[in-house]
Chains A and B, each alone.
Chain A
Amino acid sequence: MRIAVCIKQVPDAEGRLQVAADGKWIDEDEIKFVINESDQYALEEALTLTEAHGGEVVVFSLGPDRVQDALRKALALGAKRAVHLADSAFHGGDAHATARALAAAIRSEEFDLVLTGAQSDDAGYGATGSMLAGLLGWPHAWLVMGLEVDEGGGSAKVTREMESGMNEFFRLQLPAVIEVQAGLNHPRYASLKGIMQAKRKPVDRPTPADLGLVADEVGMAGSRLEIVDVAFPDSGVGAQIFEGDPATAAKALIEKLRNEARVL
């Protein structure tokens, strides 16, 4: 089976973040970027499926030149080819605009399945994959915790997470878009051989025109949402911080919990 995997490169969640000078996003100069966590699980799931059923994985990503690193990593892990929507017309879009670009790129090939993460760790819309499914006219499932492709590849059994620790099970017809939750498998590490091979694997960089799109359908121009500004939440309001060396701070905290909050 041929599987498209959509990945996003996002700021490392562990890094220290600062608001950019224009106030509209974070300062991207000094931070590390990684493949979005749930997308790593989507890629692993795709690689495992093609190992079991045959076929190949093509990885898609939208974003500036730095996204090359994420795509090379995906190729090193075992994807066959990559498609990089690198043209600046694609950038800065909301979920609708990004889904439109991805749909056009994916539609130009034949796939049995699209796998992607449930949510990006930066913008966090949790919507792009479902919108992509709508544009392709395929069924979808969001927050998938288990996926088994049925014999023959025409359908799949899906486990989806619900609230309060419940899971639901259902069957979907393929092709479909499956948006996976982090934790459904154990992503592999790249081998040295994989890293070497990745250097020779092809990365396409289609423009909007190559995909039959007009530039103002995608990216910021094609978006309905526009970020006014970003800011840190009012943090530390009410939180009394105990300073000093660990022993002093710990004693002060225990004393407060006993005598002021009266919870011990």
Chain B
Amino acid sequence: MAKSIWIVMQQREGKLHRMSREAIAAGQQLAAMVGGTASAVLIAGDDALAAEVAAYELEAVKVAASPALVDYTPGAFVGALGSAIAAERPDYVLFPHTYQSVDFVPRLSQEVGAALVPETISFEMVGDEVIWKRPILGGKLQSRVRVKGEGTVFATLQSGAFPVDSAAAATTPAAVQAMALGDLVADREILGVEQAGDDEVDLTKADIIVGVGRGVGGPDKLGPLEELAERLGADIGASRPVIDNGWLPRDRQIGSSGQTVAPKLYLAVGISGAIQHQVGMKGSSCVVAINKDKSAPIFGISQYGLVGDLHELVPALNAALAESE
């Protein structure tokens, strides 16, 4: 029997989240692989947005429209999607692995009794079953998982795992349908949204970035890195642990909860390359990794690497730059 795949879009103020398009690409790929059709689910989108989604090759665009869905709350989203999933029993439901999805999708899966594969980076058919791949241990390893038992399978899709370019456009636009909605109860009283940092450092325009990781060891060890940045005309960025430890201010953070950068040169110093960091910098033209652990995932996305003690290597780089100036 043909499988049905739903792809849940994320949008904000009428604009699709980039990862929604990646999810469409993944959904089309999964539909082709398991033999089925893919439909998009658009929560609180207007006609223009529905038309934009319908321009992709999809069976249908299901629109959940209600004033209760305009401001995101898990209660209303779980209510809307839960009743539709319970009624129509899709085989697979895909979501972009965004902070919004991770907030409500586990709860939704618990509510409708669906299996959940979080943070999927790829899937493949092995025999007659789908095997999903996802990072574990901060991306140091990957696990392949299978889903046991019957019923709907949910997967959230890691940023960048399914290229947007591979999403196929429709020859004729997909049908736009209104979704039947159950009771939508907001379980949060929304008070507001604001920028987390006070004075913004904009790393998105930097040509060269020296990215500082936990491996640096402490705020007192930053001197040689600052010198390196100065010699290269670079800005300093950092991975999350450095920020959480207070070694550098939060506006220097690069990664899924910080800035997304794409400089021509990114030097990752003492950064192991957790997936949350990679999504913020893997668009860089040239990545150099400096790390003591040669199995660190960062080397997998780097063009060049130095393996060893960064406290020796960074001063050596400074000396080499001074010599060639």
Contacts and interface: CB of A to CB of B under 8 A. Distances in A.
A131 B112 CA distance: 11
A123 to B, nearest CB: 6
Contacts of B107: 130-131, 133-134, 140
**In which size bucket is the chain B interface?**
35 or more
B118 interface: yes
Given A130-B107, A253-B304, A247 B288 contact: no
B114 to A, nearest CB: 8
B323 to A, nearest CB: 8
Contacts, number: 263
Interface stretch (A44-52, A76-84, A238-246): A238-246
A224 B191 contact: no
Given A13-B138, A17-B141, A263 B208 contact: yes
A261 B304 contact: yes
Interface stretch (B26-34, B43-51, B95-103, B170-178): B95-103
A162 interface: yes
Given A124-B136, A139-B75, 8 more contacts: A124-B135, A125-B116, A128-B106, A139-B74, A166-B196, A232-B141, A246-B309, A251-B320
B264 interface: yes
B159 to A, nearest CB: 10
A167 B192 CA distance: 8
A16 interface: yes
B188 A170 contact: yes
Contacts of B6: none
Nearest to A139: B187
B188 A232 contact: no
A126 B158 CA distance: 13
A230 B317 contact: no
B205 to A, nearest CB: 15
B144 A124 contact: no
Nearest to A19: B141
A263 B285 contact: yes
A141 interface: yes
Interface in B29-83: 73-75
Contacts of A247: 316, 319-320
A157 B260 CA distance: 29
A165 B306 contact: no
Interface string B246-277: 00001101001111100011000000000000
A147 interface: no
Q: Looking at B99, B100, B240, which has the most chain A CB atoms within 10 Å of its CB?
A: B99
A17 B243 CA distance: 25
B167 interface: no
